[in-house]
């Protein structure tokens, strides 16, 4: 047994970690110390009891499964130790069944936390436990003082003489205990809830008959309708002959304490934000209804509900608004399920179905009350229709939708974890199909899910193993036909598949969030390369264009990152151009405007990419501080030399120039297209007619040889065929 002596900082609470597993203790210790707490360890219950006497902690984490004495017994002994009656004790367990949780609370635990522990949120829960423990400690100490004061002043003290029947209660305010006549024994029971009145009186009578002490908790209803919980403790006093002479008792209002205890139990089984069942109660309910369904041969449906683009709400409007959206969704789910004869109630055993919130914006429904799969399909459809109703908040309209995945017991599995995974897979498929709909799980979905999983792992590996490479596609000036810039385009050399086209991995990278790491890699590599070419005298008057894509781009971080990379690579800002689509800029409009203003002031060029697609609004040209407009290749490819396509292009170029924007045409592939673009005085060109995207070495060779120059007599000459 290893003993430790720690002198804690008076401003840093001491936390004791009790676990026979060294690695588990080490992990908790590392997390807690990083959060600013002092930590003392114990490898067993006996060691914890010994250390507790020497130095009582402010909070104690206690593993349940330990040799010698387990966590339950250790908890009971700690509660009997001087100073241990008030210390918050959190049971750490890998078990989530009701018996384990009930045993933990019966042993005196304050709360419990499941393994594996989510270290990201542990710091927040520790602060909650310390705060709750301090409040509960103050409450219990205050109650002890009240008990002592009542003993000295005989406040709330009553006596019943058994020989004469004489009764009296001493209390400054006896009405708080529901007593309106201090000299009437019957008055002690007048305000007790009718359902408990007879039982309370009978128990006191039995204690009198048997000569035993008693302790009762019961509810009273005061004349104003207020309900209170009373603790009545007493014992029989004997005369000189050893015969029962009187009953003496003390009454105490313990309403607040019971409410605190109920709240702790509530937090163990219910989501604090929405009031829905949490994961623990969800599993407990499954354990109840699954055997019933198995015996009766009925099916059980698991619906996995995920809000579409919820992160965007949190990022743009803030987490308080996000919380209100979640509360609204929970209420809407309750309404839909009530309409479907599936009721969410406070007691799980009263209903065959349940709504729960697993966390974040994920909700689940467990339903055993349906006649056919059509019933569940109708339910899922009503859920999506109800959730998509807009939410109005502070003169803003919040658009909302949800995707629902459904799996069915026993068709898809008889294991809850697999059913949840299958429902999650079906939900992902619903998102792939356009969101705001529902899908039943099908076996082939697992293959697609596994493929997505493999792709995600492969992309992470590609970042770690430097499997990505930048190709470069040149851009040329309309007037002098010389090289003006280059767009950096990513390519992936997969060890197994070879060269993977961007279209096969970039959309998934955007959906999964990996695009942000890929963007960062591109920024660093492109700036390093541009800096090298500038220093070699090969890149005068040119720009390196980098495309920033993905959902929910954090423009504050992006701005700082680009400035840091420019400084690290010693690249002057005028050699860099940032390309953004309208969709990316409109997701976080004000953040985008602030960041782009900063870029423009530095000298970084800012291009709006793929103009004419997506959100496309001419007002965006005025809203954002742009320098360049890139015409999407779909417009260029529709050029026929005349007609609406040419008129539209001419209008776009004219409007862009009225905003002092340079215009680049993408996807120029034929001499005819170039001729039309020349006619409408498009500023710059980019496309296969001049060069495909090529590797760094080939591009640099052309720079050194001077091939990147389109002379008037060979405007349509291709610099590179492949």
Number of other residues whose CB lies within 10 A of the CB of residue 123: 15
Per-residue pLDDT averaged across 393-409, rounded? 87
pLDDT score at 143:
61
Residue 492's Cα: distance from chain center in Å?
31
520 vs 212 pLDDT, higher one: 520
Q: Is the pLDDT of residue 268 over 80?
A: yes
Residues 6+ apart with CB under 8 A from 198: none
Residue (of 693, 694, 638, 699) closest to 670 by Cα position? 638
CA distance 336 to 355: 11
pLDDT score at 147:
57
pLDDT score at 633:
86
Task: Please report the DSSP string for 592-639 in residue order.
Answer: HHHHHHHHHHHT-EEEEEEETBTT--THHHHHS--SEEEE-HHHHHT-
Q: Does domain 154-259 have CATH number 3.20.20.100?
A: no
544 vs 634 pLDDT, higher one: 544
pLDDT score at 479:
81
pLDDT score at 296:
87
Q: Is the pLDDT of residue 3 over 50?
A: no
Q: What is the pLDDT of residues 442-500, one digit of tens each?
A: 877 666 666 777 788 888 889 889 999 999 999 999 888 789 999 999 999 988 888 88
CA distance 404 to 428: 8
Per-residue pLDDT averaged across 343-348, rounded? 36
- Give the start-to-end residue ranges of the domains of the chain: 14-149, 154-259, 270-441, 468-714
pLDDT score at 12:
85
Residue 501, CA distances (Å) to 56, 278, 491 in order: 62, 43, 7
pLDDT score at 344:
35
Question: What is the CATH number assigned to the segment(s) 14-149?
Answer: 3.40.50.2300
Per-residue pLDDT averaged across 368-395, rounded? 85
Q: Is the pLDDT of residue 146 over 70?
A: no
Let me know the angle formed at the C-alpha of 113 by 107 and 116, rounded to the nearest 5 degrees. Answer: 135
Q: Does domain 270-441 have CATH number 3.30.70.270?
A: yes
Q: What is the pLDDT of residues 98-114, one digit of tens each?
A: 788 888 889 999 888 88
Q: What is the pLDDT of residues 631-658, one digit of tens each?
A: 888 888 887 655 677 888 888 888 888 8
Q: What is the pLDDT of residues 588-617, one digit of tens each?
A: 788 889 999 999 999 999 999 877 654 455
Length of the chain: 722
pLDDT score at 721:
38
Confidence of residue 683 (pLDDT cuts 50, 70, 90): very high
CA distance 156 to 252: 7
Q: Is the pLDDT of residue 518 over 60?
A: yes
pLDDT score at 634:
83
Q: What is the pLDDT of residues 562-597, one digit of tens each?
A: 999 999 999 999 999 999 988 888 777 888 899 999
Confidence of residue 5 (pLDDT cuts 50, 70, 90): very low
pTM for the complete prediction?
0.49
CA distance 408 to 625: 53
Q: Is the peptide bond before 116 cis (omega within 30 degrees of 0)?
A: yes
Per-residue pLDDT averaged across 261-283, rounded? 86
Write down the residue that tokens 């110390």 correspond to.
33
CATH T-level topology, domain 468-714? TIM Barrel (3.20.20)
pLDDT score at 9:
53
Residue (of 414, 155, 138, 130) closest to 291 by Cα position? 414
Write down the residue that tokens 């310390």 correspond to.
130
pLDDT score at 696:
93
pLDDT score at 343:
35
**Contact indicator for 659, 691 with CB cutoff of 8 Å:** no
pLDDT score at 325:
93
User: How many angstroms separate the first and last alpha carbons of the chain?
Assistant: 71
Residue 51, CA distances (Å) to 151, 369, 585 in order: 34, 53, 58
pLDDT score at 245:
87
pLDDT score at 346:
35
18 bridge partner residues: 42, 62
pLDDT score at 10:
55
Q: Is the pLDDT of residue 347 over 80?
A: no
Per-residue pLDDT averaged across 19-43, rounded? 91
Q: Which of the given ranges, 21-30, 142-151, 499-508, has the highest pLDDT on average?
A: 21-30
Residue 286's Cα: distance from chain center in Å?
24
CA distance 461 to 494: 10
Mean pLDDT, all residues of the chain: 84
Residue 228, CA distances (Å) to 185, 512, 570 in order: 20, 53, 73
Q: Is the pLDDT of residue 341 over 60?
A: no
Write down the residue that tokens 């045993």 correspond to.
103
């Amino acid at each position: 047994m290893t003993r430790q002596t720690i002198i804690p900082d008076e401003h840093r609470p001491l936390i004791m970690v009790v676990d026979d597993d060294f690695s588990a203790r080490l992990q908790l210790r590392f997390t807690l110390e990083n959060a600013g707490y002092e930590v003392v360890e114990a490898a067993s219950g006996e060691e914890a009891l010994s250390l507790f006497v020497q130095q009582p902690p402010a909070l104690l984490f206690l593993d349940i499964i330990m040799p010698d004495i387990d966590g339950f017994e250790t908890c009971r002994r700690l509660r009997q130790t001087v100073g241990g009656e008030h210390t918050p004790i959190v049971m750490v367990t890998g078990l989530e069944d009701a018996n384990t949780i009930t045993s933990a609370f019966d042993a005196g635990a304050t709360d419990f936390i499941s393994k594996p522990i989510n270290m990201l949120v542990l710091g927040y829960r520790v602060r909650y436990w310390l705060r709750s423990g301090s409040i509960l400690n103050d409450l219990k100490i205050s109650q002890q003082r009240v008990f002592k004061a009542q003993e000295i002043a005989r406040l709330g003290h009553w006596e019943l003489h058994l020989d004469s029947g004489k009764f009296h209660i001493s209390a400054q305010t006896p009405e708080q205990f529901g007593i309106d006549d201090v000299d009437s024994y019957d008055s002690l029971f007048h305000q007790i809830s009718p359902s408990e009145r007879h039982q309370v009186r009978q128990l006191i009578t039995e204690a009198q008959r048997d000569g035993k002490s008693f302790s009762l908790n019961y509810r009273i209803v005061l004349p104003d309708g207020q309900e209170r919980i009373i603790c009545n403790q007493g014992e029989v006093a004997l005369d000189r002959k050893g015969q029962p002479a009187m009953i003496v008792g003390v009454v105490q209002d313990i309403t607040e304490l019971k409410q605190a205890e109920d709240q702790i139990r509530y937090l163990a089984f219910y989501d604090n934000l929405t009031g829905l069942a949490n994961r623990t109660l969800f599993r407990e309910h499954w354990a109840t209804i699954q055997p019933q369904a198995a015996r009766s041969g009925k099916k059980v449906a698991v619906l996995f509900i995920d809000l579409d683009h919820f992160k965007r709400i949190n990022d743009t409007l803030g987490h308080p608004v996000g919380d209100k959206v979640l509360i609204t969704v929970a209420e809407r789910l309750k309404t839909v399920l009530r309409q479907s004869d599936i009721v969410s109630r406070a007691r799980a055993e009263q209903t065959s179905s349940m709504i729960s919130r697993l966390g974040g914006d994920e909700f689940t429904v467990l339903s055993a009350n349906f006649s056919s799969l059509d019933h569940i399909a109708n339910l899922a459809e009503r859920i999506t229709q109800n959730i998509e109703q807009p939410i109005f908040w502070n003169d803003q309209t919040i658009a909302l939708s949800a995707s629902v995945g459904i799996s069915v017991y026993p068709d898809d599995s008889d294991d809850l974890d697999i059913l949840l995974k299958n429902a999650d897979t079906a939900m992902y498929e619903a998102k792939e199909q356009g969101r705001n709909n529902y899908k039943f799980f099908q076996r082939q979905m697992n293959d697609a899910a596994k493929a997505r999983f493999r792709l995600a792992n492969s992309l992470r590996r590609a970042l770690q193993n430097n499997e990505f490479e930048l190709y470069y596609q040149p851009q040329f000036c309309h007037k002098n036909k010389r090289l003006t810039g280059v767009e950096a385009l990513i390519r992936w050399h997969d060890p197994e598949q070879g060269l993977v086209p961007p279209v096969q991995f970039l959309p998934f990278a955007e959906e999964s969030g990996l695009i942000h790491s890929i963007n960062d890699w591109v920024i660093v590599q492109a700036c390093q390369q541009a800096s090298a070419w500038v220093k070699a005298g090969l890149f005068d008057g040119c720009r390196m264009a980098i495309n920033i894509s993905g959902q929910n781009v954090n423009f504050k971080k992006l701005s700082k990152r680009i400035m840091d990379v420019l400084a690290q690579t010693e690249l002057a800002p005028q050699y860099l151009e940032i390309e953004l689509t309208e969709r990316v800029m409109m997701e976080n409009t004000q953040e985008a405007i602030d960041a782009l203003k900063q870029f423009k002031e530095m000298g970084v060029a800012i291009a709006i990419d793929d103009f004419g697609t997506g959100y496309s609004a001419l007002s965006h040209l005025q809203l954002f501080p742009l320098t360049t407009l890139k015409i999407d290749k779909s417009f260029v490819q529709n050029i026929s030399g005349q007609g609406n396509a040419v008129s539209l292009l001419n209008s776009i170029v004219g409007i862009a120039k009225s905003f002092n924007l340079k215009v680049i045409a993408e996807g120029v592939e034929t001499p005819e297209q170039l001729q039309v673009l020349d006619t409408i005085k498009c500023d710059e060109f980019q496309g296969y007619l001049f060069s495909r995207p090529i590797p760094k070495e080939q591009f640099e060779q052309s720079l050194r040889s001077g091939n990147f120059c389109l002379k008037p007599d060979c405007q349509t000459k291709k610099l590179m065929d492949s």
